Amino acid sequence: MSIVVTGATGHLGRLVVEGLLTAQVPAGQIAVVVRDEAKAADFAARGVEVRVADYSAPETLKGAFAAGDRVLLISGSEVGRRVAQHTAVIGAAREAGVALLAYTGILGGPDADFDLADEHKATEQAVLDSGLPYVFLRNGWYHENYTENLAPVLEHGAVVGSAGDGRIASASRADYAGAAVAVLTGEGHEGKAYELSGDTAWSLDEYAAEIARQSGKDIGYARVPAEQHLAILTGAGVPEPMAAILVDVDAAIERGRLAGTSGDLSRLIGRPTTPVSEAITAALRS
């Protein structure tokens, strides 16, 4: 039996694997499923088993899992193709007879009413239909969705958004990775859906004020209508389909869909979630 992490060379996947190793899971009991073996060379050098497979090529998934494995299915990044990709992984996991399938979905699960949630909801239903033992890790927004894009904020002196006064209970990628590690290494999680989010929700006004405080620059929140927000994003080079999704997420934020603070995340990781102020500090240093 192995703990298997798919998409393990992505940002979240790498943190999960590092977390498993830090939790003293023997490297020989960890496997990673990746498209590019070379990108996992550092894991292989530490004794982690590397299994090469592609979500988009179902035939490559036949050897990706084994009976008794605990599998973390990290959602794919190709919006619009993810239901077929995830369904292929679920089918391979079912055929192999894995002991547990954990899936990284989105906060709110079936109640999430914004476009980005659609593929996650369809994937959760596919997991339920498979009959596999499962855990749903419904991740909220990541701090890094904002703090990895501080350069234009600092350049233009503005956080641009169409989220109104909506609040965001974000957490760090490391926090969400810690929750996955807890589920993969613990007991009693089967059949549960965890609504994962930060302990404290914040507004874009507060976010801009914190950047201003830490950077010493005059930073404000530029509230714009959805149409203008879309034009700004596409003008900055964001492909229109992705820009439309981001604007739709801001509308969901304004409706309070990413503000929930259930406490599930801090309970799973055994500590308070990382404040957004710490993520801002780290981003400014880098």
pLDDT digits (tens, 9 = 90+) for 120-139: 999 999 999 999 999 999 99
Span 28-46, pLDDT tens digits: 999 999 999 999 999 999 9
Residue 151 lies inside a defined structural domain of this protein: yes
DSSP 48: -
Mean pLDDT, residues 146-152 taken together: 94
The pLDDT value recorded for residue 207 is 98
Do 25 and 135 lie in one domain? The reply is yes
What residues make up the domain containing 280?
142-170+198-259+275-286
Residue 78 lies inside a defined structural domain of this protein: yes
Do 101 and 220 lie in one domain? The reply is no
Residue 26 lies inside a defined structural domain of this protein: yes
Mean pLDDT, residues 75-101 taken together: 94
pLDDT at 77 over 90: no
Residue 192 lies inside a defined structural domain of this protein: no
175-206 residues labelled b (16+ CB within 10 A) or e (exposed): bbbbbbbbbbeeeebeeebbbbbbbbbbbbbb
- Helix axes 173-185 and 11-22, enclosed angle (nearest 10): 50
Query: Any idea how long the chain is?
Result: 286
Do 44 and 105 lie in one domain? The reply is yes
Half-sphere exposure of 46 (CA within 13 A, CB side): 17
Do 146 and 128 lie in one domain? The reply is no
Mean pLDDT, residues 146-159 taken together: 96
Tokens read off for 12:
């979240």
Do 155 and 245 lie in one domain? The reply is yes
Do 69 and 99 lie in one domain? The reply is yes
Do 122 and 254 lie in one domain? The reply is no
Contact between 64 and 50 (Cβ < 8 Å): no
Do 71 and 150 lie in one domain? The reply is no
Residue 52 lies inside a defined structural domain of this protein: yes
Among 96, 119, 139, the domain-final residue is: 139
Global pTM reads 0.96
Other Cβ atoms within 10 Å of 87 Cβ, number: 18
Closest CA to 110 of 92, 122, 94, 98: 122
The pLDDT value recorded for residue 228 is 97
Span 235-256, pLDDT tens digits: 999 999 999 999 999 999 999 9
Do 157 and 50 lie in one domain? The reply is no
The pLDDT value recorded for residue 134 is 98
Rounded mean pLDDT of the chain?
96
The pLDDT value recorded for residue 80 is 81
The pLDDT value recorded for residue 263 is 97
Tokens read off for 39:
């990108």
Instruction: Please tell me the total count of domains within the chain.
Output: 2
Q: How far is CA 127 from the centre of its chain?
A: 18
Percent of the chain with pLDDT over 70: 100
Strand 134-139 relative to strand 100-106: parallel, antiparallel, unpaired?
Answer: parallel
The pLDDT value recorded for residue 76 is 87
pLDDT tier, 79 (very low <50, low <70, confident <90, very high otherwise):
confident
Do 217 and 243 lie in one domain? The reply is yes
